Amino acid sequence: MKSWNRMQDAVAVALGVFAALSPLWLVTTDKAMWSLVVLGVLVALAGLAHMARPDMAVADYAMGVFGLLMFISPWVMNFHALGGASWTAWIVGVLTVVVAASAMPVMSARMHHGDHGVAAH
């Protein structure tokens, strides 16, 4: 499969770009803005890295970590009271973790080989 056909990578890049640009239209604090920008850029870069080198599984794991950090950032950086910024971080974080998990080698192998946990008789 060609690397540019991987839907997970394109979705990760789009999620990262959305998060990184979201402070342009959301009410944020400095901590919220930098959390969304930095983590958004890191998610997008992980997606681009995986597009360039599909065999680099570490990009999937990094993307999952960045998604988790995005999800907890409203509490850690104390901007959970900002509705738009916190919901953006939560939604983008969850979606990033889902995308990263679906792209991980074990999941990809199961999806591409049709192994759905059905035991052969």
Answer with the residue of higher pLDDT: 113 or 57: 57
Name the residue ranges covered by the structural domains of the chain: 3-113
Helix orientation angle between 83-103 and 7-21, rounded to the nearest 10 degrees: 160
| pTM tops 0.95, yes or no | no
Answer with the residue of higher pLDDT: 78 or 114: 78
Q: What are phi and psi of 57, to 5 degrees?
A: -65, -25
**Per-residue model confidence (pLDDT) at position 107:** 53
22-69 pLDDT, tens digit per residue, is: 999 999 999 999 999 999 999 999 999 988 887 778 888 999 999 999
- 88 Cβ contact partners less than 8 Å away, ≥ 6 residues apart: 18, 19, 22, 26, 36
CA distance 89 to 74: 7
